[in-house]
Amino acid sequence: MSQFWQNLITNISWGALIIGGISWILRKFIDHFFSNKIEQYKADLERENTKFRITYEKLHAERAEVIKEIYRKISKTYNALESVVAPMQLAGEKPMEEIMVDKRIHFMDTANNFLEYFQENKIFFNKDLVNDIDKLDGGFRTVWKKWSFSQINGRGRQNVEEWNKAWDQLKTDVSQTKSEIENKFRKLIGIE
């Protein structure tokens, strides 16, 4: 019987050794397989991260350019309207009526240019800022209408009181909205 136990122990030892060897080889194979998969996954993540970063940087640069251009157009429109609505108009070599026609046309062109550009690019802004810019555009329109009506009087004269109301609204409400937009633009581009 002792021979039996000895053979049994020998066979079990060899079996354990073989199973251990197979287990070790299998574990090394699995480790190698998953190690390659992990490295491939890391490389894929790095590639996606780089692609995302480039896209984000490109989008941020494009957004900054849109902000710059919209602000430029807002300023041009504001200045053109201010030039038309200003209570004190300076005459030049041309008659005053021609100067005012030129100023009106310039304002209408800049206002339309601003609004068209904004409509094409409003996707770059959150709803709050879009509402502010729409409010500014509404302010431009209201001042323009008030001023235009001040120029038409049934007695053939300008209505100075209405003209002054248009000027006051431009210098208070519209200027305040413009200032709020400027502050939001500064935050968006990281200045404040």
Instruction: Give a yes or no: residue 25 inside a domain.
Output: no
Instruction: Give a yes or no: residue 63 inside a domain.
Output: no
Question: Total structural domains in the chain?
Answer: 1
Q: Where are the alpha helices (DSSP H) in 86-159?
A: 96-121, 127-151
Instruction: Give a yes or no: residue 94 inside a domain.
Output: yes
Instruction: Give a yes or no: residue 161 inside a domain.
Output: yes
Instruction: Give Cα separations from 142 to 33, 147, 159, 163 (angstroms).
Output: 71, 8, 16, 12
pLDDT in tens, 51-107: 878 777 888 889 899 999 999 999 999 999 999 998 877 666 677 777 888 889 999
pLDDT in tens, 112-138: 999 999 999 999 999 999 999 999 999
Contact yes or no for 44/52 (Cβ under 8 A) = no
Contact yes or no for 177/136 (Cβ under 8 A) = yes
Structural domain including 92 reads: 69-188
To the question of pTM greater than 0.75 for the whole model, the response is no
Instruction: Give a yes or no: residue 58 inside a domain.
Output: no
Q: Which amino acid is at 98?
A: E
